[in-house]
């Protein structure tokens, strides 16, 4: 269990909420984790159950069915989900896509979609990455061309979280290919639109229970009113939302690192070699001591970054720095924890194996570590 007694960012209401989240996960998450890993998708029932329990999009205003809470409550969910070792895509909906609807959607779009996102009736995805384009969003090839009062969308996307389950997709497309970043728009595509197709559920190294898909758009017609916000401002919208997205990843990474550390401590204190506990070897204690110090610094930084975000002060470079530092810490912690398990760490029956597999992509999605350094470097 995560120890939160000395945290500075959360108040009593957050901790009461954390207790509710833990009880909910004990009932609705933990018993199904292994099955979801094998089936490579999370049941839709889990989404609606999360909605009923108030665990989806808690920051959304009450007028749209939300709880009107601060992002700290999202942070609680992010931490508990990552510590549980789950890659369920609910954090994408709560921390990323719902805010696009709230910040840029028309009143009609908000009233139609946000209550469904909050309840779990609708699952959302955001389609940025393409087969030939990773972090360089200005290089996307998907187009949305006007035809009367409709857009006609053509192109393909890949590595899309919630791709198999999604009912609505925020598609990043070029409405004016001649304008570079100024020609990028965000277009809503409902999953039942003719010409929209899902590819395979991608076979990943880790995060097996997170459905991640290819998406195809073949002359998909949507009304002009499906444009999210203003046409041509999509790139700006994406950049505006990145600090929260990267903070969300950093929070989950820190909790995942803590879980790996806790698993290593438990294992090394229980397992013996050469007549003594593995924990009693100096190398083990020094490895764990080093990780403990890094985790102490990490939690202090998460509280600092989250506090800044709650005040509306977290900058793009600070969000990037948080993602860089905490995902790299997660990888070091998971790799060291697996090593301390010895051969057992390579066995899927031990939680550390899943934690190690799932951690690897954290340094890639949401912007690679290399891109994070580029963003930070430009701010110096």
For 92-154, the DSSP string reads: HIIIIIHHHHHHH--HHHHHHHHHHHHHTSS-EEEE--BTTBSS-GGG---EEEEETTEEEEE
Q: Which CATH class is domain 12-122?
A: mainly alpha
- CA geometry: angle 119, 57, 304, nearest 5 deg: 160
More confident residue, 228 or 4: 228
**pTM of the predicted protein model:** 0.96
Average pLDDT over residues 8-15: 96
Could you tell me which of 93, 152, 88, 91 has the C-alpha nearest to residue 126? 93
Q: How far apart are CA 23 and CA 49, in angstroms?
A: 13
Average pLDDT over residues 266-270: 97
Mean pLDDT, all residues of the chain: 96
Burial level of 286, CB count in 10 A (0-12/13-18/19+)?
exposed
Pairing of strands 196-201, 212-223: antiparallel
Q: How far apart are CA 139 and CA 132, in angstroms?
A: 9
Q: What percent of the chain has pLDDT over 90?
A: 95
Task: For 219-229, write each residue's pLDDT tens digit.
Answer: 999 999 999 99
For the chain, the structural domain boundaries read 12-122, 125-230, 235-379
Locate the DSSP E strands across 162-275: 168-174, 184-190, 196-201, 212-223, 272-273
Q: How confident is the model at residue 185, as a pLDDT?
A: 97
Helix (H) or strand (E) holding 157, with range, is strand 150-161
Q: What are phi and psi of 234, to 5 degrees?
A: -60, -40
Q: How far apart are CA 66 and CA 256, in angstroms?
A: 27
* pLDDT band, very low/low/confident/very high, at 276 (cuts 50, 70, 90): very high
Asked whether the predicted pLDDT for residue 133 surpasses 90, the reply is no
Asked whether the predicted pLDDT for residue 91 surpasses 80, the reply is yes
Cβ density class 100-131: b for 16+ within 10 Å, e for less:
bbbebbeeebbebbbbbbbbbebbbbbbbbbe
Tell me if residue 245 is catalytic. yes
Q: Do domains 125-230 and 235-379 have the same CATH topology?
A: no
Task: For 292-318, write each residue's pLDDT tens digit.
Answer: 999 999 999 999 999 999 999 999 999
Residues 235-379: name the CATH superfamily: Butyryl-CoA Dehydrogenase, subunit A, domain 3 (1.20.140.10)
- Given a contact cutoff of 8 angstroms between Cβ atoms, the answer to whether 92 and 78 are in contact is no
- Tell me the sheet residues that pair with 190: 168
Q: How confident is the model at residue 50, as a pLDDT?
A: 98
Q: How far apart are CA 37 and CA 86, in angstroms?
A: 9
Average pLDDT over residues 256-263: 98
Q: Which CATH class is domain 125-230?
A: mainly beta
Q: What percent of the chain has pLDDT over 70?
A: 99
Taken in order 314, 320, 325, 331, the sign of the CA dihedral is positive
Task: For 181-226, write each residue's pLDDT tens digit.
Answer: 899 999 999 999 999 999 999 999 999 999 999 999 999 999 999 9
Q: Which two tokens stand for residue 53?
A: 């329990």
Catalytic residue among 37, 80, 214, 245: 245
Q: How confident is the model at residue 156, as a pLDDT?
A: 97
How big, in percent rounded to 5, are the helix, strand and coil portions of the chain?
55, 15, 25
Q: How confident is the model at residue 135, as a pLDDT?
A: 65
Grouping H, G, I as helix, E, B as strand and the rest as coil, residue 362 is: helix
């Amino acid at each position: 269990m995560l120890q939160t007694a000395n945290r500075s960012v959360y108040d009593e209401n957050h901790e009461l909420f954390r207790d509710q989240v833990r009880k909910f996960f004990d009932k609705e998450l933990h018993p199904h984790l292994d099955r979801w890993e094998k089936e490579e998708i999370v049941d839709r029932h889990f989404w609606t159950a999360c909605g009923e329990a108030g665990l989806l999009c808690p920051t959304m205003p009450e007028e749209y069915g939300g709880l009107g809470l601060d992002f700290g409550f999202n942070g609680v969910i992010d931490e508990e989900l990552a510590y549980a070792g789950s890659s369920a895509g609910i954090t994408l909906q709560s921390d990323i896509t719902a805010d696009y609807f709230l910040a840029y959607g028309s009143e009609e779009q908000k009233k139609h979609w946000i209550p469904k996102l909050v309840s779990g009736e609708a699952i959302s995805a955001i389609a940025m990455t393409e087969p030939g384009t990773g972090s360089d969003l200005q290089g996307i090839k998907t187009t949305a061309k006007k035809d009367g009062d409709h857009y006609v969308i053509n192109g393909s996307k890949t590595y899309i979280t919630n791709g198999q389950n999604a009912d609505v997709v925020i598609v990043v497309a070029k409405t004016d290919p001649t304008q570079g970043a100024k020609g990028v728009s965000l277009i809503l595509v409902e999953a039942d639109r003719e010409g929209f197709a899902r590819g395979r559920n991608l076979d990943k190294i880790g995060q097996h229970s997170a459905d991640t898909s290819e998406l195809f758009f073949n002359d998909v017609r949507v009304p002009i009113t499906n444009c999210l916000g203003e046409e041509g401002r999509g790139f700006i919208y994406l950049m505006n939302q990145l600090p929260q997205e990267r903070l969300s990843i950093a929070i989950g990474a820190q909790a995942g690192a803590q879980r790996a550390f806790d698993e290593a401590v438990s294992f090394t204190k229980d397992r013996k070699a050469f007549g003594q506990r593995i924990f009693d070897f100096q190398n083990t204690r020094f490895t764990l001591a080093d990780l403990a110090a890094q985790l102490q610094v990490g939690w202090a930084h998460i509280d600092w970054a989250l506090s800044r975000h709650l005040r509306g002060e977290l900058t793009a470079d600070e969000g990037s720095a948080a993602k860089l530092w905490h995902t790299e810490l997660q990888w070091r912690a998971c790799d060291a924890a697996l090593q301390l398990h010895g051969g057992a760490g390579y066995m899927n029956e031990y939680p550390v194996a899943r934690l190690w597999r799932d951690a690897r992509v954290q340094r890639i999605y949401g912007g690679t570590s290399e891109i994070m350094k580029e963003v930070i470097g430009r701010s110096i």
